[in-house]
Amino acid sequence: MLSQFTSKEDKQTLKKFFTVPEDVYPVGRLDYDSEGLLLLTNDKQLNYRLLHPSFAHEREYWVQVEGDINESAIQNLESGVTISIDGKGYQTKTCKAGKFSASPILPKRDPPIRFRKNIPTSWIWIKLHEGKNRQVRKMTAQVGFPTLRLVRYRIERITIDKLKPGEMIAMDRESIYGKLFEKKM
């Protein structure tokens, strides 16, 4: 679904699944084919602090890629790669990345990713402090391992742990600001 409440396209939106006050909007977006943590708020200060690049909050993505990703590709991701943003080359900032030793435990995807019997897949995690349009997908493609499944697992200390797909929890301002903006121990 689209991570918004309205659409001129014939695609499902958040409105089909959630009833929230009219002044509540998603903070940031997930691509139509991506899944995971999405924050909804009517707090303009929270929206600003999460979207403005100067705050550089950490986001963690779990990514299933096509092929058996190697250490060289992981190092390239961490060093930053050149991707296209609005038709111009953009050098991504350094990040942290690694390969899962086993597939992370996640709910089945609906619809499932494409499956090719003779092409292996692998799972990696990427921790970024920036969020350009389709950045993770562009980064993995740039190092030769296209993204098949993309899950935003975490924003700072807020995770999707214990949440089922489509489940929403309410957090008070104190809790959410504490998890997002207090220094990590």
The set of catalytic residues is 31
For CA atoms 132, 21, 13, 122, give the dihedral sign: positive
Buried b (16+ CB within 10 A) or exposed e, 117-126: eeeebbbbbb
Max Cα–Cα distance, the chain, nearest Å: 50
**Neighbouring C-beta atoms of residue 93, cutoff 10 Å:** 14
**DSSP string of 78-134, one letter each residue:** HH--EEEETTEEEEPPP-EEEE-SS----PPPSSPPP--TTS-EEEEEEEES---TT
Q: How distant, in Å, are the alpha carbons of 3, 9, 94, 145, 167 from that of 163?
A: 17, 28, 30, 28, 6
CA separation for the pair 182, 185 (Å, rounded): 9
Both tokens of 134, joined, read: 């389709």
26: preceding bond cis by omega (within 30 degrees) = no
